[in-house]
Structure 1
Amino acid sequence: MQAKETLFADLVQGRAQQYQVPLYQRTYSWTEKQLRQLWSDVLEQAELIERGEKANTHFLGSVVLAPSPQNDATFPRWLVVDGQQRLTTLSLALAAIRDHIRDAEPDEAERIDEQYLINKWKTGSDHFRLLPTQADRPQFAAHVRGPLTEQAAGGGVAAAYTYFRRKLVEAADPAAPQDVFRIEQAITSRLTLVAVTAERGDNVHRIFESLNNTGLKLSQADLLRNYLFMKLHTRGEHVYESYWLPLQDSLSNEELEQLMWLQLVLDGDDRVRRQDLYAAQQQRFERGGASEEEIDAYIRELHRRAALFRRLLHPEEEPDAAVRAHLHRLDTWQAQATYPALMLLLDRRERGELDSSDTARAMSYVESFLVRRMICRVPPNNLNRIFQAVPGQLPLDMPVADGLHQLLSADNRFWPDDNELREKIQKAPFYQFGRPPQRKMVLQRLEESYEHPEPVDFAAAQLTIEHVMPQSPGDEWLRMLGEDVTDGENAKDLHSRLQHTLGNLTLTAVNSELSKHPFERKQGLLQGSHLEMNRRIAGTERWGAKEILARADELAGRAAALWPAPLRGVGRAERSRDWHLAHQVLAALPHGTWTSYGDLAAFLGSGAQAVGNHLASTPEVANLYRVLTSEGKVSAGFNWTSEDEEGDVRSLLSAAGVAFTVTGAADPAQRLTADDLALLVAEDDDRTEGADTSQSVPSNQDEETRANRFFRQLTADDSPETVEAVRALLASWEELGGWIGHGAGQVTTSAFLMLGEAGAPGRGIWPLTLYPGGGRGGTAQVVFQYLAAREPFTDRGLRLELLTRLNELEGVDIPEGRLELHPSFRLSLLEKDRNRELLAGTLAWFRDRWERRDAA
């Protein structure tokens, strides 16, 4: 056998040929479930074509072929051993496209026919490129030949053809139009197949049996779990017991898979499909050269987010009442498409970026977006794409709730405004759009808007939607409607136009009793209802067109108040990830430094994998090669995209001043963290934040409290010898004429070694800031970047001399690349007498240089 990857277009077009489905194959059996998945894949590929992306084709499956006994040299015939369902479905989809455009573009319709469906110059059964089993041939032939006959109706082939015709009409909706020729291109050139061709004499039936002997396949979550724990060589057991087992116990396998996909989306990947989860996450880890520490962190983050995800699945676990109410309604709406946005909101709230009130407000925009679109009959087929893009498109320059409001208000999101909402409530057949739970929820919310003092318990009440004017009106109803008709319309026309509108619908527990009764009978039943909207209906004298439209107008006002409107004039939504900032900071990397994918991601507020994807597709970025794995290695996925840019990465790193350890890794001392990167592009005011000497007056009680707090925190984390060494350092600094300022932080404080007038903002200078370690040991930070803006240390030669003097301390080795940053060393190094002496001499030199600044 021979196997090769191919496309439907390559398989069927070209010279006259035929693919025959053998007798032992079952008849065509795809249902709407398989058709719906295929159509979703086709639309996704059409969107990728629209964006100009050539990669990311969709693998459809295999096709196994064998030479037909009827084969001849001038007209090749192949038996379709496996894959007839796929080939039949794609052929029917193309027949539907041909017929969809036949009237408007007959030449294009003929092209599709001749390229994919027929052998133009052949007759009889040889006329068809695909020949299904005998049971399906009459229907298939009728749909390929067209126009359809009555004999072709019914059966799976006809159902599939009809499905595609319906979807093509839906795709042409003005609210979100899809180009039909991009859909054709997606079907013929973006769905890849593996064609396995058997030789004459091979037992093709044996091949068919082996291909269809299916077992229980591993899920995407299973594959990713296996991959992760194969990478956790030393800490796998701890991570599994501490994080994975609780995670696995709290979610089903399907839910866990969905959470893993959501984590990718939250990290900025707005295009990954759930069925590609394993491949996408594996590729990201491989590209970034993920260490055990990073995989451990990934699983911990998954564990943390699982608690948030459970609130989407089980809203009763949400503690805040307002947020819980929104989650309940969205759960009732079956709004799984909104999960990326909802997870982002819960995640940001947990991180302290918005409170519960703003979270509820943001969720009201999500709810309104869904409800208004449903009422206004906007097709829901692009909801997955819209909400999957939210984490990557959310504006970065405004609060989260406001940013989401703006993002969903973009012109290409189709969030109906108040005018459209009012018009559709009055005119659109609400009862025939959306799912039954969605329609019921809209009516429930409208009822709740009356704020009745004794509200109905909707969870316990068995309420259904009722047409006040019945769907099958009697003579009395028609006579009443006849009083409201206008020119060119009769009572039946008026009934047909208004019966399913929101103004004619209500909730009741006595639907069967109301049924087709005249309005007078319904009035009595509705009057006894506990629902305010029903009592209001019962309070009217009649129920005709005027009353229905008046009620629709009232409900429209309530709907506009319940579900916020979009903003006006927002324009189109575009990705807001500020990759320009990434380019800017990489261009600012000092000589002799490198950074990692994770560091750059943390600086951007993105994910390491998203950063890797962006850099891989943007080869013109300056210093691209200086982004390495966390171990200081070149990523296995790194490659130059053209010969002009190709080079030896290690040589380039060496030329940029990056040193290497004996293992071949970039020197970890030269690695810039996310905080370091932030300093590279920070404004001057940001670089000296927390260093205002006006906060550090040494003569009041508060200052004494800060000093006590500093030493209390230092004592809790460092040895008594280190604490005494720090006390000695601060005392020697005061002997040199300096003073000690302490930061005002309540969680972690600090100590500044100050020179200059105490309490005078902008007049002081300091070479070191000391920090308690918070569990990691205290550090002394050398503020080179701050000094670069203070005389006389604007002279780089003086800063370099300071660095050289500090590097004389045993255990201190600050790379020159950090001369523009805030490098640090451990305070525990001061336990050594020689180090204290050297540091005291360096500080005396620093004071002397500063005092002589005017003379210089």
Structure 2
Amino acid sequence: MKATEAKLLDFLRKSPQFVIPIYQRTYSWTEKECRQLWDDILRTGSNDDISAHFVGSIVYIEKGIYQVSSQSPLLVIDGQQRLTTVTLLIAALARALEQLDEEKREPLDGFSPRKLRNYYLLNPEEEGEKYYKLILSQTDKDSLTSIVGNREQPKEYSLRVTENFKLFESWIAGCKEDLTPLCKGLAKLIVVDIALNRDQDNPQLIFESMNSTGKELSQADLIRNYILMGLEPQLQTRLYEQYWRPMEIDFGQEAYSEQFDGFMRHYLTVKTGEIPRIGEVYEAFKVHANSTKTAQAGVEALVTDIRTFSRYFCAMALGKETDPDLKLAFHDLRELRVDVAYPFLLELYHDYATGMLSRENFLAAVRLVEAYVFRRAICSIPTNSMNKTFATLSRAINKDHYLESIQAHLLLLPSYRRFPKDEEFRRDLKSRDLYNFRSRSYWLRRLENYGRKERVQVDEYTIEHIMPQNENLSASWKTELGPEWKRIHETWLNTIGNLTLTGHNSEYSDRPFKEKRDISGGFKESPLKLNKGIGQLDKWDEEAIKERANSLADIALEVWKMPKLSNGVMETYRPISVKSDYTIEDHPYIHTGAMQELFEVLRKELIALDPCVTEEFRKKYVAYKAETTFVSVISQTKRLILALNMAFSEINDPKGICRDVSKLKLSASGEIRVSLASLDELPYVMGLVRQSFDRQMGNGGY
């Protein structure tokens, strides 16, 4: 590798051509990055005391180690965004100068339209692609060559390239022919010219270590480059065009930039059983790619597998499914925003696509996930454990009894992860504020269309409070509701019994119930199933609201159905509990000794963390478990030692009382040991224990 500081314009002028490899991300700078560069250029060009402005590095590969002396194209590893943006700015400047009077067309020596084009945009003596100084990839390529070649934009044009060129045109027009500061600023731009030797340098490691200015690379960008960068050009091109480019097309430009990182996170969760942190997907991918099994299969098998799972993701998350029933089921999941279920569903989709799971059972499993998530939301059960639930759910699948094993596992989940039973779901559904529920159009649509063959487009209707929202109820409504009208209004206003759909919201307004019932288009004439029976009522009071809530709750129990398995079947899936032969009497320091009182208080605190926490006495310690042991208590004469089952690097310990024992072979599992000698220390120590508990429960979110 050889690095040299150079003026950007000199570097462009001497370089024969820059080519952006196909595996690089497309041009992605937005107005924000363009504005920053524009402001820096004008600030530098307007101040004679500023001699230069550094804009980053240009890293490229050639066969030999040299500083731009050959006529071979330079393969750009880092610097595409800056090169493209400066090219667009120079092209816009050249066009603007052409519109000026002849004496104003070269505000600074070397900045005439002809020189700008022939020095920095084009190779005037060349033909074909060699005619252009910068060759981008994909649709960016045609858009940029059209701009610098003064041709009409192609039908399929690059949004970013085209919009940023127009931005520069508008900003230059705003300079009102005073273009000297802009030209001076461009002349002062400095880069570091870094040439790599293909045989001696590792482009990927250099690429990762670059701390360039501009738009940060996504995790997906890094992964794509990691896979393709080190390959021979021919294989690189084939893998990109056969696998990676089709993925980009399937996602679409916007979804690729916003959701591909998420897809790769779900993919790695499926493959490794571990959920990568949001900002560490690339690191997790490298570990997966270098694992023995993946490495032995080879890079093409890896890219093929990613491509296969991307199809499943696009079907579920982007509405690309072709089966109408599955398409609707995935749409419902998207409305519930159940991203945490995607790792589990990706595995199910793979088994469905390969014939291991029938279509009927796959659809039933998707609807089961929907019911599980919606019931929990209605019952206000915190969602922070669901990432762990779905990340590990596939381990519980018996593929000889595929659907049954999923049903049994969900039914056996404990307390905080439970599948709410009918009684709990029914009770909370009737009393919950569903008007302010985040997915209210979802539950209204599901109830309205249950059992319908001709579906109703709920979005064409508005939500209606039968008993009006207005706090200042009319006299007729107060009479209708009775002496306790205020309590009834506060209690039932936004609940399922008082909410419905209508296409006549403005006509209904705050009218008395009988007018809402009898007017043209009123409840008597409503074709909606949600309004069934309302048109036959004579009054709308607390009893009517409760009755309707009960009726809708009956339907809801069918829409979001809980699976029913016999006790015999359930027993075959129930985890076998191993009874310990030890009791507290085997631990004299906490049974009758000096640590008895401290242990009893600690014990209550640990069990109170969650109803699912269990206590198990072992030979040398006492284990406290949720899914597995999250803390073990080792008793000594003058203190208790707590073993936290989590990595030492992950603990937040401001007081620094945790010890790293990861290199020691100890009986109780966990890398962390904490000493507890008095009740005064207990609140802080419990804060450390809770971190271990939350980590096991997946309470860090997804």
TM-score interval (norm. to shorter): 0.3 to 0.5
